[in-house]
A and B are shown apart, each in its own frame.
Chain A
């Protein structure tokens, strides 16, 4: 149970970091919409689960946050990826690519035989 949550948090964290890397500083709502949009609504998450992930990333120093004003003039907290966050994302990306590649090979191997 706990492991599953950690894996989920881990993938969600990567999505968040990638989102912030591509679109720049963004508030929680923006990040959630963006993730839904990219995943073409395949991934429907409770927006509330995003916040513990944001907190963890901030505690680890991957992102930082500051209060600002949104497009429609609401006071919102904006999150921004840090240099450490970018480095972490790059290494995670390499890791994921390697993992998926290996898994893909295994699945392909099964199909061939």
Chain B
């Protein structure tokens, strides 16, 4: 074995040292023959005979040398080396062809690499923790019939939060889960905490985590220590682990940061550790800046809100409050059914403990375990579908580029026909020739791949900005080993794909020698026409989809939102974070509204707890004073100030809006939108009826409906306006209005009001900063950012494909015209008009494109089913999109065909015929 390895190694080395050896071997052989001759001479032969005898004894000198050479190196490796050298020389000789081919492939492969690196970062990459494959996220099947005693309120978007006691039930570990951790975000975004670091005030996002969090994830701090189980006990000192990012940003990246004290929402904490770089917790959509231990602390609000349960219970003790994310680590090698049945038993015990027999088992939810290998996947879920669509689109672009380069190679192999013929005639093996031509195409695609990688690397920053929105730190799209492997594989595949057909065809020349005699139509041209039609087909698919996405974006942007988005300034204030006592909060809002209203340039002003289309909503189950509904009915709610509907431009359909008396007195009244009126009251008159956000209906905390307003978009641009109730801010609990968003309708540019309003706010309370200042239209743009990127990239790929088609058409036709020079010359000589000749060539271009349309449209419609869920306000059979797609392609074909057509009709018949 070792001897074989040694030999192989020597042979590989021998490939490069061969030349030096050859001379030595020749000398050695020469010496040997000389010695034989000497011996023969000694035996008395004449010199001439001695020579001949010596040569006979030695045997064939050439054969010996050849056999020696074969053994010395590796013949295939030497051939490959020679092929590469040959291919490089060939490519250098036609720089134009090489440049076009490499550029096409670089665009194709580069676009694929760029999209793939995003897919890799967003969808494929696992969490940077120990054995991420073992992590499972607790989820449950949502059943609205879960009894209120088990689940009264829930926070979080998906079915993945649980009451604290479920975590406690699992904490000791189980037969199938080695450990279970719990964590809760401290707000809905990364600005939800106010922190004081060395006298500086800053905002940050954070998480409360169970004491075993870092240990179970296998993440050790690069400085200091992690959070321990002891930190969860009540009375233990407040400690925090900060993210690497935060450490660099706010703590100067110094080791002395350990032991420093910081305040979080006015509560003092000691920094005890710094998390390793790249560790962003388990939810990639919300990387925390600090981690603190999961326990009841005054002033620290899980999920950014403080909503004590019945009787002022803390969330930890509140059995009906579902708020903890739970992640478990599986013990290896246990079948999933066993894990599920075991955890479900424990889950039921945990849920029903202390509740007696009052809860029937069939009304409890089923626990399911989702892989947490890549973390909580809100961001990933949102991006996964568009990324896969883009991935498909971009691979079609690569296919177009491939067939384009294949067309070029075909034309090139034509001009090499003689050379190949001669080589075949001299006895070169077809296999060797094919491998030589393949080497050339693979070399091209590798160059294209390298250039593409560079392109992807250069654009990676832009991509992050495009896809990540504001959260650039969580998308690491720099090429890693997966991306490199992807590029290598794609390049090799591309090279084989583009090279195989032309190579096989080129070496088949000798089978049909008569083809060389006749100058006209050859199957090679048919093949390149076929390739051009393929390109056109793919381009139609890409253009059609891009068209649909652009129409979708337009529809989203221009739709009737139910309110007037123009000239609206939004900003938020959070009086409690500025130290305002809860009893004064409402007064602050009153005062701010009154003073801003009188500012110059302000048409009207109002305030709401949640800005429309900000990505956040509030809501829950609603009961009416009528007969109880068979199942819990959910509705959104928003808290607002006087004149909100007027300021936003929401129409009041019946009754009235919220006015000053409602907030001042306050009165328990509500305004509902049309959707809510229809959902809860059907054909009945909602005015005067009462609703409560407690189920079953609670008259004490109910609101009387005084008005019905038009529907306005609230949660998202794509979704229908949800049933929504608007409540006056004076009439709801303080927790709902801790932070509110002001909406100022301006007469001119809304942003020009900022200095005036800032001055006004300062005069009310100097410690009250305006936060998150933006206009309503910029907020809508932000909401449409992904849609815009998506439509933009789809269009870019469509245009890329179109350009490649134009190039392919031009190349094929120009080549055809060159080959038909004589024929065209004769036609002109026989009296064909120039116009006729022009049309002849142009028609061919249009026919090829037309074939592409005929093949492409059905394909696009068939594939359209995959993207239907991304469309908005536009159907698959949208005539405008189809017309634009077909029109664009045909126009491109006309332009691409015009140059060769023009050349054809200016052929001088005399010259052409004489040339023959």
**Do A48 and B35 touch across chains, with their CB atoms under 8 A apart?**
no
Residues of chain A within 8 A (CB-CB) of B7 are 56, 59-60
Partner of A52, one of B34, B61, B71: B71
Q: Is the CB of A75 within 8 A of B68?
A: no
Known: A55-B72, A59-B11. A48 touches B63 (CB 8 A): yes
| Interface residue? A72 (CB, 8 A) | yes
Contact across chains for A51 and B25 when beta carbons are under 8 A apart: yes
Complex partner residue of B32 from A29, A61, A84, CB under 8 angstroms:
A29
Please name all residues of chain B whose beta carbon is closer than 8 Å to the beta carbon of A32 when the two chains form the complex. Answer: 32
| A47 and B71 contact, Cβ closer than 8 Å, known pairs A29-B31, A29-B35, A60-B7 | no
Asked if residues A76 and B28 are in contact (CB atoms below 8 Å), the reply is yes
CB-CB under 8 A from B64, the residues of chain A are 46, 48-49, 51-52
A60 in contact with B38 given A46-B59, A48-B59, A52-B71 (CB within 8 Å)? no
B581 within 8 A of A: no
* A69 vs chain B, min Cβ distance (A): 11
Are A60 and B36 closer than 8 Å at their CB atoms? Answer: no
Please tell me if the beta carbons of B32 and A28 are within 8 angstroms of each other in the complex: yes
Instruction: Determine whether A98 belongs to the interface, using a CB cutoff of 8 Å to chain B.
Output: no
A75–B28 CA distance with the chains assembled, in angstroms: 9
Per the 8 Å Cβ criterion, residues 55-94 of B in contact with A are 57-61, 63-64, 67-68, 70-72
Among residues 18 to 55 in chain A, which have CB atoms less than 8 Å away from a CB atom of chain B?
27-29, 32, 46-49, 51-52, 55
User: In the complex, which of the residues B24, B34, B58, B68 contacts A47, with contact meaning CB atoms closer than 8 Å?
Assistant: B58
Instruction: Say yes or no: B67 contacts A52, CB within 8 Å.
Output: yes
Given known A48-B61, A51-B29, contact A60–B34 (CB-CB < 8 A): no
Is residue A77 contacting chain B, with contact meaning CB distance below 8 A?
yes
Residue in A closest to B8 when the chains form the complex, CB atoms: A59
Contacts known (A56-B7, A59-B11, A61-B3); A47 close to B28, Cβ less than 8 A:
no
Closest chain-A Cβ to B476's Cβ sits at a distance in Å of 47
Known: A29-B31, A52-B68, A55-B71. A47 touches B3 (CB 8 A): no
Residues of A within 8 A of B3 (CB): 60-62, 84, 88
Residue B833 interfacial (CB < 8 Å):
no
- In the complex, are the beta carbons of A47 and B6 less than 8 A apart? no
Chain B: minimal CB distance from A51 (Å):
5
Contact with B along A77-105 (1 / 0, CB 8 A): 10000001000100000000000000000
Q: In the complex, which residue of chain A has the Cβ closest to the Cβ of B66?
A: A52
A27, A48, A58, A84, most chain B CB atoms within 10 A: A48
Contacts of A49 in B (CB 8 A): 59, 64, 67
Closest Cβ neighbor of A70 among chain B residues: B35
**B336, CB-defined interface residue at 8 Å:** no
With a cutoff of 8 Å between Cβ atoms, the chain B residues found around residue A46 in the complex are 57-60, 64
Provide the residues of chain A in CB contact with B11, threshold 8 Å.
59
Q: Are B6 and A59 in contact (CB under 8 A)?
A: yes
Contact indicator A48/B28 (Cβ below 8 Å): no
Give a binary string over B391-408; 1 marks a CB under 8 Å from any A CB, 0 the rest: 000000000000000000
Per-residue interface assignment for chain B, residues 7 to 26, with 1 indicating a CB less than 8 Å from any chain A CB and 0 otherwise = 10011001000000000110
Q: Whole-angstrom distance between the alpha carbons of A60 and B14 in the complex?
A: 13
A61 touches which one: B6, B24, B59, B68 (CB < 8 A)? B6
The docked-state distance in angstroms from the alpha carbon of A3 to that of B415 is 44
Complex Cα distance A52/B61, Å?
12
A4 within 8 A of B: no
- Tell me if A28 and B28 are in contact (CB < 8 A): yes
Contact A55 B68 (CB under 8 A): yes
A-B contact number at CB 8 A: 76
Report if A74 contacts B (CB, 8 A). Answer: yes
Chain A interfacial residues counted at CB < 8 A: 25
Q: A50 CA to B37 CA in the complex, in Å?
A: 18
Task: For the complex, give the distance between the alpha carbons of A76 and B38 in Å.
Answer: 14
Asked if A48 and B29 sit within 8 Å, CB to CB, the answer is yes
A contact patch SS: helix
Residues in B with CB closer than 8 Å to A52 are 64, 67-68, 70-71
On chain A, the residues within 8 Å of B35 by CB distance are 27, 29, 70, 74, 76
Question: Distance (Å) between the CB of A83 and the closest chain B CB?
Answer: 13
Shortest B64–chain A CB gap in Å is 3
Contacts of A60 in B (CB 8 A): 3-4, 6-7
Measured CA separation A20–B64 after assembly (Å) = 22
**Are the CB atoms of A59 and B10 closer together than 8 Å?**
yes
Distance between A86 CB and nearest chain B CB, rounded to angstroms = 14
Measured between C-beta atoms, what is the minimum distance from A9 to chain B in Å?
10
A51 to B30 CA separation, bound complex (whole angstroms): 12
**A47-B58, A51-B68 are known contacts. Are A77 and B6 too (CB-CB below 8 A)?**
no
Bound Cα distance A35, B38 (Å): 19
B568 to A: closest C-beta gap in Å: 82
Q: Which residues of A contact B28 (CB under 8 A)?
A: 28, 51, 76-77
Chain B residues closer than 8 Å to A48, beta-carbon distance: 29, 58-61, 63-64
- Identify which of residues 690-743 in chain B touch chain A, using a CB-to-CB cut-off of 8 Å: none
Q: How far is the CA of A35 from the CA of B379 in the complex (A)?
A: 79
CA distance A52 to B11 in the complex (A): 13
Residue of B nearest to A9 (CB): B71
Alpha-carbon distance between A48 and B61 when the two chains are bound, in angstroms: 7
A72/B38 contact (C-beta < 8 A), A28-B28, A56-B7 known: yes
Smallest Cβ distance from B185 to chain A, in angstroms?
65
Using CB atoms, name the residue of chain B closest to A88: B3
A30 to chain B, nearest CB (A): 8
A62 to B29, CA, bound (A): 21
Smallest beta-carbon distance B562→chain A, Å = 83
Interface centre among A47, A61, A62, A84 (most CB of B within 10 A): A47
Q: For residues 422 through 456 of chain B, which have their beta carbon under 8 Å from a beta carbon of chain A?
A: none
CA of A15 to CA of B28, assembled, Å: 20
CA distance A7 to B21 in the complex (A): 26
Give the docked Cα–Cα distance between A88 and B2 (Å). Answer: 12
Nearest chain B residue, comparing its CB with the CB of A32: B32
Q: In the assembled complex, how far is the CB of residue A16 from the closest CB belonging to chain B, in whole angstroms?
A: 14
- Chain A residue contacts of B31, Cβ below 8 A: 27, 29, 70, 74-77
Supplied contacts A46-B60, A72-B38, A74-B31, 4 more A-B pairs, CB within 8 Å? A29-B32, A46-B64, A52-B64, A70-B31
Which residues of chain B have a CB within 8 Å of any CB of chain A?
3-4, 6-7, 10-11, 14, 24-25, 27-29, 31-32, 34-36, 38, 57-61, 63-64, 67-68, 70-72
Q: Can you identify 24 A-B contacts, CB atoms within 8 angstroms?
A: A27-B35, A29-B32, A46-B57, A46-B59, A46-B60, A47-B32, A47-B58, A47-B59, A48-B59, A48-B63, A49-B59, A49-B64, A51-B28, A51-B29, A52-B67, A52-B71, A55-B71, A56-B7, A60-B3, A60-B4, A70-B31, A74-B31, A76-B35, A84-B3
Q: Which 8 pairs of residues, A with B, have the shortest CB-CB distance? A: A46-B59, A48-B64, A59-B10, A48-B59, A29-B35, A60-B3, A59-B7, A47-B58
